Amino acid sequence: MTQDGRPILIVDDDAFQRRMIRIKLQTHGFEVNEAKDGIEALEFLEQQDYRVVLLDIVMPQLNGWEVLDQIRSRHSRAELPVIMMTARDTRYDMTAALARGANDYLTKPIDFADLNRRIDSCTAAAAPGAAAIDQAATAGGAEDTHRDLLPHIAEQSLAMLDNLLGNLPGIVFRAVGDGNGNVHLSYQSDGLQSFLGHSWTSVQHVIACSDNRSRDALNRQFRSKGRLLKPLHAHFPVQLPNGATRWVECHGKPHRLPSGETVWDAILVAGRPQSSERGDDHGHTPVSDEAHYRDPQGYVHQCTRCRKVRDFRNDESWERVDEWTQHMPLQTRHTLCAACAAINEVATAG
């Protein structure tokens, strides 16, 4: 950046902002003067020639537009370039600034590398109006540069996300409902190669290795929970190629996009096998075979009072299997067990 010996004038009522810009410009070899408001700026301009004016818009007494009008009544764009500075970032403000006589327009917080480029571009203009043209080209070039960087930034962000999610004990994925009851995978984290000690091609591949009833139940959960925007929690067996069976849990939470589509952010994790010879600490019997608790139509009969479920191996047997009934996707028929029905009869008779 070449110097011509003239200082740069910073006009801003924010002392901290002036100081930061001054320090940055001085590190590049510029001489800098500071004006705390529009009136002081005009006094400086009466006393000395300046290379460029960095002019804030919102100031007491005289605002930036008024100062710009005063400058343009005495100096052309080529004679004294003016770069407007403001926290307002709208196309209207930029257009108004250029139409009113500014050479360029910067938004706060100031990008100091960009500021240096804009100063050099403005002061390199050789004729009135040329700086504005240079500014438009520079601004367009900056926009193109930012646009070119976006894919790279997005790629880096996804790589960081994958790295973070890859350390989780499961597979994070996003599913999208298309409004017709169909659910499509839109994202999945790394980790498929080692999930359950097997390599998978996708989340759908994992789910496809479960039984038909589990897949149907999971699909129903996606649809019904998605409509109500309620969390889902499914627990189902997956058949590995080596013949082993592993249990998998799916946790997810849906939310609605502005487009009306439903999106689920979910995770697949390894679940505990549902088999044991004894009950848990609360006396509830773990489930070894869910088929024992379903009727021929696939429904589970659960007591609305005590929450026990019917064991169809013995029609008179009702058992508490809370871990299963709280987490498994169920087709449930609510009824009363024999004991609770008897209690109700006594209460009614009394």
- What Cα–Cα distance (Å) separates residue 108 from each residue in 2, 5, 72, 89? 25, 27, 24, 8
DSSP symbols for 89-158: --HHHHHHHHHHT-SEEEESSP-HHHHHHHHHHHHT--STTHHHHHHHHHHHHHHHHHHHHHHHHHHHHH
| pLDDT reported for residue 120 | 85
- pLDDT, tens only, 181-210: 566 776 777 777 788 888 888 888 888 888
Residue 174's Cβ-side half-sphere holds a number of Cα atoms within 13 Å equal to: 11
pTM of the model as a whole: 0.38
- What Cα–Cα distance (Å) separates residue 167 from each residue in 122, 207, 310? 51, 21, 41
Phi, psi of 132 (to 5 degrees): -65, -40
Confidence of residue 34 (pLDDT cuts 50, 70, 90): very high
CA distance 56 to 106: 10
- pLDDT, tens only, 98-140: 888 888 888 877 777 888 888 888 877 634 444 444 455 445 5
Both tokens of 245, joined, read 């069976």
Taking the CA atoms of the chain, what radius of gyration do you get in angstroms? 35
pLDDT greater than 60 at residue 145: no
Both tokens of 73, joined, read 């009544």
Mean of the per-residue pLDDT values for the chain? 75
| pLDDT reported for residue 323 | 56
Phi, psi of 62 (to 5 degrees): -105, 125
- pLDDT, tens only, 233-291: 888 999 888 888 889 988 888 888 765 678 888 888 888 765 433 334 333 444 445 66
Which residues pair with residue 235 across a beta bridge? 249
